[in-house]
Chain A
Amino acid sequence: MSQYVLQAEALTKTYRSGSGSLTVLDTVSFSVQQGNTISIVGPSGSGKTTLLGLCAGLDVPTSGIISLMGFKLNAMSEDDRAYIRNQYVGFVFQNFQLLPTLTALENVMVPLELRGEKHVRQKAVELLVRVGLEKRVDHYPSQLSGGEQQRVAMARAFITEPKILFADEPTGNLDDENALHVTELLFSLNKQQGTTLVMVTHNLELARKTERILRMKGGKLVEEELVGA
């Protein structure tokens, strides 16, 4: 098996807009090895989020090849990609994306339940304790603060022990104190589980906590920086 968990080759994404078309991602290629942490930075509209969506199999490129855990996502159906996500991928989003009708605990249990696993409650509770929400287990998202919601989202992301975690501006909606807390948790869980991390952020300080930084501009990958090199 390859040591690369993620490989992108000449990824291009074009949207039709009216009579013309708009290229938001232009022949981007990069790869990520198991256990690496990378961040994608760039100004608004540079194509960071589009790239993250493609890498996570949330969308398919107009051209180019994307391979996740050795699976060629381009050739797969949406349901197959969903299966891959469930087996190997974790997500943390800027706006948390918790299911509003489920409690914190149920939100965390969902990915394992989807796999058909039994007795997942204990594991979910342990993770919620790990993120400091042992007293918020039965609360609904609307009853939690932004920082707490993001911690639930992280517990949900890590419960499957994913091979790769995609994070889209994970501290973008949080105050400094909560942002710090969430960042610490993110990196500590990541390290603990040996997860690969791909993070989109505006925050250069946060980006510098990863091993590599990919800079995007106008849909192109313009620079790659090895942090600390």
Chain B
Amino acid sequence: MIEYIIKLKRKTRNMLQDGWVWKMAWRDARHNFSRLFLFVASLITGIAAVVSLDSLNNSLQQDIDRNAKELLGADMVINSGRKLEPELEALFDSLKHAQANEADMASMVLFKRSGQSRLIRLVALQGDFPFYGAVETLPPNGYSLMREQGYALLDETLASQYEVSSGDTIKIGNSFFEVAGVVTKIPGGGGILSTFTPSVYIAMSQLDSTGLVQFGSRVSYRKYLKTESDAETEALEKTIRPEVRKYGHRYDTVQERKEELGEAFQSVYRFFSLLAFLALILGCIGVASSVHIYAREKRDEVAILRCVGSSGWQAFNIYFIQIFLLGIVGSVVGAALGLGIQQLIPLVFKDMLPVEVSFAVSWKSFAMGIAIGTVVSVLFSMLPLMAVRFVPPLAVLRADFEPARIFSKARIAVVALIVLFPMFFAAVQTRSVLIGLAFFGGLAVALGLLALVATLLLFLVRKYFPTNSSFIWRHALSNLFRPNNQTRMLMVAIGLGAFIITTLSVVEKSLLSQVEFSGQENQSNTVLFDIQPSQKDGVVKLMEENNLPVNQVVPIVTCRLRELKGRSVEEVQRDTTDRVPNWALTREYRVTYRDSLHLSEELIKGELQKKTLGQDSVWVTISEGLQEELDVNIGDSLVFDVQGIPVKVHISGIRKVQWSKDPPNFIFVFPTGVLEPAPQVYVTATRVDDQQTANKFQQELIMSYPNVSLIDLRLILSTVNNLFNKLSSVVRFLALFSIITGLVVLSGAVINSKFVRMKENVLLRTIGARTRQITRITLIEYAYLGIFSALTGMILSIGGGYLLTTFFFKIQFAFNPLELVTITVGLVLLTMLIGWWNSREIIATPPLQVLRKES
């Protein structure tokens, strides 16, 4: 009979006051640091990715801001496709602002010493350009030699590619120039464009002597203006805007250039942010998974502590302190590693950037990395650690005792925070709530799809289980369905890495297949343009003498739009409701005439271009892209200004053009019998298969016809290839974070199911299995896992790649099966290696040791 009840007055202490939990945290951790390796590894990889990408973003942003004026070299620049009209020149002269002029055009250069030639961008400069920043040359006096003594300067890449040095002679057009040196930095120049077409710089006074500026030559003119203040720039903009627009020219201010560049880089930032987001999420998965394993391992110890009187919170605090402190250490190491990686990325990127980026250490990113790492380590370890609170002391008597699941408000709050955190991070990272939500939604969909594919694969394996295969193969496969094996989670994590890498491969292959026409039989890979009518027969003869096929000799007539659907261009410009872009109205059109379709064309609507009798007799075809821009349809009329003569035409049909296939290709194609009397130049195309023939032909061409330019498409292809290799190496490097985290999760899963595996192996060995057989079972199990993970990623990447190429890049979808197989095999081998490495102890444990422990 119970006689009375004593009311309990228990003193409770918080974590900071309770010295015992700190002492126990240290005592327990002394021998457990290695057990938390997975936790720290996940955190370090995730945070390193976040910090490196964020720091890179910050550096780029800061440097673009800092060097904004140097991007332009002036406060304002007027761009024009022809010489500025005398009225405009008079207007600029009246404004009294400092001015400088530039003319640039495509041209061939011949390197006299080596005899090699190449298409370049010839830049002729006049005046005190640049007004901001400086033209840096090697030797330092190169720029003044160029401006004052008629020397030429070369882009650094061009000089090193053709081994040209100061004092060498080059031939441009009809003139020979002595090389003063190389340009290492020029405002507004460089960057990715110079990778495609490197520049040669001369003084404007030398341009005429080259004889390159002829009828039909495509020359771009720029006028640089310097003002004394931003207010003056604004005033200048107001004054010149109507005049400049009237003539169809464009102008740029520093602010506009900065915005344009900002927009261009916005997608880069977003791409980086997305990668950082993915790496962090995988890091979070790694943290949660590794702490889950750790907490499970600690179950017995917690039960003992509970037995001798520790409260649930005290037990929780012991491990929380360890995770928290180690989380800070991991975050600091991850952030430091991230800064280190950030210093490496620019080495790959430096040629592609428009400004010289200092890549200074971003302490903001460093601090943010530590803060995020600490939050991640606390938040994502909280859920598995909470389980420690509810470890029943009865577990000391009954090891397999599992208490009923306890509802805890704290647990609900943690789950809510775990869902909110990625959303918040994505919003901060992209500086937009909407994009942040989109990232989160995208991730949820991607992870959902990955999980779905993984589930489906596992379901199919179960349904069509190979019951007749050998024991080892069957047993390894059935291991995938072992409790606690986290097979689906692993397939998602490793699959995500595989997805990123294979999607990149698919997009890369699709893009490259657009320019790989040069590899196809009989297609042109060399285009010659700016051929004057008098030179046409000579150039064709030269091609024949070099045994080169003459694939096309196409006449080109330049013209501008005067009227669109019965309204003058000026009227359309003034009409604010009209959405036709100004550039489409004012640009110079290079058209041709013929009566048939070219092999790169397909008539998708209407009829071919034709000339009929009577009025409205000229019918032209238009490419589908520009048909949309100009908003014209079959039967609509246009009036072209062909060298001062108005020519009225009607649209007879719309062509779909594969622009990269057998160039040149055209927006407008006229019928024969209309433009023949107009001034025109010719373009021809051929196919050159070996470099020796190319060199010989180019040299002969430049000697006889210096004004004729030549594009070697093979060179462009190799440049595109090169560029892609650089880009993809960066992306692959970042995707590797995802794979590494996946493998960290894999290691965790192996350790998690370690004891179950040990017991199973011991039983197998007791009944006669040899170590070799057990090793084979283990390896095959991980091979299955690797194959399924890579398959999961690959199936999605083919879908994702198709969507990206079709709807985003708008190019033909293509993929290289061999590369996908290579990625799969690589991933499978890596998974097998990690799995085997972590299982060595399991395989090597003597049976008795486990049986004793069991007893």
Contact = CB atoms under 8 A, between A and B. Distances in A.
Interface string A170-181: 000000000000
Contacts, number: 109
Contact of A58 (B28, B305, B313, B394): B394
B311 A113 contact: no
B305 A110 contact: yes
Contact of A78 (B28, B32, B304, B312): B312
Given A82-B393, A84-B8, A9 B304 contact: no
A69 B5 CA distance: 9
B545 interface: no
A83 B397 contact: no
Interface in B4-28: 4-6, 8, 10-11, 13, 20, 23-24, 27-28
Given A101-B301, A113-B23, A67 B2 contact: yes
A59 B6 contact: no
B666 to A, nearest CB: 79
B388 to A, nearest CB: 13
Contact of B309 (A71, A76, A87): A87
B535 interface: no
Interface in B678-713: none
B100 interface: no
Given A49-B397, A53-B394, 5 more contacts: A83-B311, A93-B397, A99-B304, A110-B308, A115-B309
B20 A116 contact: yes
Contact of A85 (B300, B309, B394): B309
Contacts of A71: 5-6, 8
B35 to A, nearest CB: 10
A229 interface: no
Closest 7 CB pairs of A and B: A86-B309, A79-B311, A58-B393, A58-B394, A83-B10, A59-B394, A101-B28
B396 interface: yes
Contacts of B310: 82, 86, 114
A157 B343 CA distance: 58
A56 B30 CA distance: 32
Nearest to A153: B304
B574 interface: no
B348 interface: no
A97 B304 CA distance: 6
B12 to A, nearest CB: 8
A86 B314 CA distance: 13
28 contacts: A9-B1, A56-B307, A57-B393, A58-B392, A59-B394, A70-B5, A71-B8, A78-B392, A79-B10, A82-B306, A82-B309, A82-B311, A83-B311, A85-B307, A85-B308, A85-B309, A86-B309, A86-B310, A91-B307, A93-B397, A97-B304, A99-B305, A102-B27, A110-B305, A114-B20, A114-B314, A116-B20, A168-B397
Contacts of A7: 1-2
A76 B9 CA distance: 12
Contacts of A86: 308-310
A56 B394 CA distance: 10
A138 to B, nearest CB: 12
A93 B313 CA distance: 24
Nearest to B315: A82
A79 B11 CA distance: 11
Contact of B398 (A49, A56, A72): A49
Nearest to B853: A95
A105 to B, nearest CB: 11
A83 B309 contact: yes
Nearest to B304: A97
B311 A99 contact: no
A59 B402 CA distance: 12
B8 A80 contact: yes
Nearest to A93: B396
Nearest to A88: B309
B308 A79 contact: no
B20 A2 contact: no
Contacts of A79: 10, 311-313
B85 interface: no
A168 B304 CA distance: 14
A72 B2 contact: yes
A97 B396 contact: yes
Contacts of B8: 71, 76, 80, 83-84
A133 B10 CA distance: 34
Contacts of A75: 5
B575 interface: no
A164 interface: no
A45 interface: no
Interface in B369-413: 392-394, 396-398
A100 B301 contact: yes
Given A83-B10, A113-B20, A91 B27 contact: no
B313 A53 contact: no
Interface in A94-120: 97-102, 106, 110-111, 113-116
A75 B7 CA distance: 11
A65 interface: yes
Contacts of B4: 2, 70
Contacts of B28: 99, 101-102
A52 interface: yes
Contacts of A91: 307-308, 396
B31 interface: yes
A53 B399 CA distance: 13
B3 interface: yes
A156 interface: yes
B397 A53 contact: yes
Interface in B276-302: 300-301
A87 B2 CA distance: 20
Contact of B30 (A67, A70, A76, A101): A101
Contacts of B312: 78-79, 82
Given A79-B311, A85-B309, A52 B397 contact: yes
Contacts of A85: 307-309, 393
Contacts of A106: 27
A101 B4 CA distance: 41
Nearest to A16: B404
A97 B307 contact: yes
A69 B301 CA distance: 26
B393 A70 contact: no
Identify which of A53, A57, A106 gathers the most chain B CB atoms within 10 Å of its CB.
A53
A88 to B, nearest CB: 10
Contact of B6 (A70, A99, A102): A70
B305 to A, nearest CB: 7
Contacts of B5: 67, 70-72, 75
Contacts of B308: 85-86, 91, 110-111, 114, 156
Nearest to B298: A101
A163 B536 CA distance: 114
Contacts of B6: 69-71
Contacts of A9: 1-2
A65 B2 contact: yes
A58 B301 contact: no
Contacts of A168: 397
Contacts of A52: 397
Interface in B66-101: none
A186 B671 CA distance: 113
Nearest to B5: A72
Nearest to A80: B8
Contacts of A49: 397-398
A80 B24 CA distance: 21
A99 B28 CA distance: 9
Contacts of B396: 58, 91, 93, 97
Interface in B27-44: 27-28, 30-32
